[in-house]
Amino acid sequence: MLPSIPRWFRFLGLLGLSAALLTGCASKQSPGPNLPPQPAVGVIDMDKALQAHPKAEEWAILQKEAQTIVEQINTETRHLSMNNSADSPAAAIPPAVQDGQQAALTQEYNAKMAAKEKEVRARLDAKAAKIHADLDEKMKAYEAELEKEYQPQIFNIQLKLQTLHLEEKEANELKNSLEQLKKEQAEKLAARQQELSNTFNEALAPDKAAAEQEMAEYAKNLSDELNARARSFKQELNGSVQAPNNSLGQADAGGRIAELEHQLEMKKQEIQVLQEAIIKDVQDKTAKVAAEHRLETVLAGHKMNIAAVDVTDWVIAELKK
């Protein structure tokens, strides 16, 4: 049997940059005042999120189709066993021949999928880099604008606090004004970062969706091609090793089983591709929600004894958009 396909969807996760994308520019800013602590950890019910995915029903249908093929194989195998007799045994394709042909198909599949992944990833990387460069320039310009607006005011207050002999009340008022200015500057910068992060995700989303569709179609077409070649190969071998006394019914049953086995392998790979796409989509939406709500990490499972925000419903809402 062909092994499961390579996890080519992983590379898309590298491009799911969210709020962290543009944080480099923010590191230069003076820290704002201490704010009340907020939960920095999120938690998600992955089972619930996966079941709510728009393609979950399609995945369930594919699973049922695979189970139907398994039942058909079992039925054909039972019939073939009952029809075989000691006087006229059905000739079989040598296992070494089957394994060699299967290994060759698997190697070809993996090589072609890896090459296609590299091609698609290169296009996405180039598009992401271009978008990032454009937004980075906008972020730097906005940062400079904020510096020009706030630094003179901040410097003026700091100078007064350092050089003037002020009464305690007046000094406290100036300190409060200083902290308020720093807070305003930091909040404006954070808001701009979030805005540009959303812009990045929106700009890249069509290309990511197109890449996923292209890879899924390529995987299906390649599987169909290899499946057809495998069926042809087995049919040729069945004809060449058929025993003289073997009945036509037994040959037909063996051919049907071989074809059903390949159909099952292709169905499993189709399920695998869809499953990884669903999981990747949930991960991307979780990263987006985490960035929007400024969460440092999101855990899959229950909250247990930590202060965590349940992001499950937010992620499901993103999936349904």
176-186 pLDDT tens trace: 999 999 999 99
pLDDT at position 147, please?
Answer: 93
- Counted residue by residue, the chain has a size of 321
Chain position carrying tokens 């720093």: 182
Q: Distance between CA 121 and CA 125 in Å, rounded?
A: 6
Residue % of the chain over a pLDDT of 70? 73
Name every residue whose Cβ is closer than 8 Å to that of residue 139 and which is 6 or more positions away in sequence. 22, 25, 192, 193, 196
Of 151, 148, 182, give the one whose Cα is nearest residue 190.
182
For 289-311, what is each residue's pLDDT tens digit?
Answer: 999 988 888 888 655 556 788 99
pLDDT at position 258, please?
Answer: 82
Q: How many CB atoms lie within 10 A of CB 203?
A: 16
Residue 228 pLDDT greater than 90, yes or no: no
**Tokens (6 digits) for 40:** 């920095």
Q: Mark out the alpha helices in the chain (DSSP H runs).
A: 10-13, 46-51, 56-83, 95-163, 168-240, 248-292, 312-319
**Tokens (6 digits) for 39:** 């939960």
Residue 118, burial from CB neighbour count under 10 angstroms (0-12, 13-18, 19+): exposed
For 70-90, what is each residue's pLDDT tens digit?
Answer: 888 888 777 666 655 434 444
Q: Mark out the alpha helices in 6-94 (DSSP H runs).
A: 10-13, 46-51, 56-83
74-83: long-range pairs with CB below 8 Å, 24+: 76/253, 76/256, 76/257, 76/260, 77/257, 79/253, 80/250, 80/253, 80/254, 80/257, 83/247, 83/249, 83/250, 83/253
Q: How many CB atoms lie within 10 A of CB 180?
A: 12
pLDDT at position 13, please?
Answer: 35
Task: Pick the more confident residue, 214 or 245.
Answer: 214
Banded pLDDT at 94 (limits 50, 70, 90)? low
